[in-house]
């Protein structure tokens, strides 16, 4: 089965990012495909490389980045939601006249068309968070 995953809530404020990670990891370990993970609304905050949780806490961004590397996941951050929250890749930072980017490894920025395509290309589109 091919899944599309949508994460709508940010890390450390809601369980959605953790639950989505555990779900995604489980379906991949069972041999299913994940077409795309789309981070939307506050979920885009998962994709900042600037988060530094306490040493005894889980590192949600790192967990997602490592999962993306291991399984070659397509992890997309919504560009409009990212800009509102100050998440930029190198190209977008330059376009906006900013002096640096803060996107984490394994994430990329794109538009809502990527969410629509994930819904069309997947057998199931599973949403985490409101």
Dump pLDDT digits (tens) for 4-47.
Answer: 999 999 999 899 999 999 999 999 999 999 999 999 999 999 99
pLDDT classification of 56: cutoffs 50, 70, 90: confident
Dump pLDDT digits (tens) for 63-102.
Answer: 999 999 999 999 999 999 999 999 999 999 999 999 999 9
**Domain ranges in the chain?**
2-128
**CA-CA-CA-CA torsion sign (7, 9, 13, 14):** negative
Instruction: Provide the 10 A C-beta neighbour count for residue 52.
Output: 9
Active site residues: 78
For the chain, the C-alpha Rg in angstroms (whole number) is: 14
| φ and ψ of 39, to 5 deg | -100, 125
Q: Nearest Cα to 8, choosing from 34, 45, 51?
A: 45
DSSP string covering 34-53, please?
A: EEEEEE-GGGGGGGBTT---
Q: What's 2-128's CATH class? A: alpha beta
- pTM to 2 decimal places: 0.95
Q: CB-hemisphere CA count at 13 Å for 51?
A: 23
pLDDT over threshold 90, residue 59: yes
Which of helix, strand or coil describes residue 9? Answer: coil
């Amino acid at each position: 089965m091919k899944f599309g995953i949508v994460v709508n809530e940010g890390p450390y404020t809601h369980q959605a990012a953790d639950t989505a990670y555990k779900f995604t990891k489980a379906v991949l370990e069972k041999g299913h495909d994940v077409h795309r993970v789309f981070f939307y609304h506050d979920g885009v905050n998962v994709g900042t490389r600037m988060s530094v949780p306490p040493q005894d806490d889980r590192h949600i961004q790192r967990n997602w980045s490592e999962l993306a590397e291991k399984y070659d996941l397509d992890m997309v951050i919504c560009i409009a939601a990212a800009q509102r929250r100050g998440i930029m890749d190198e190209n977008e930072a330059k376009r906006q006249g900013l002096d640096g980017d803060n996107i984490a490894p394994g994430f990329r920025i794109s538009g809502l068309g990527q969410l629509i395509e994930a819904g069309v290309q997947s057998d199931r589109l599973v949403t985490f968070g409101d």
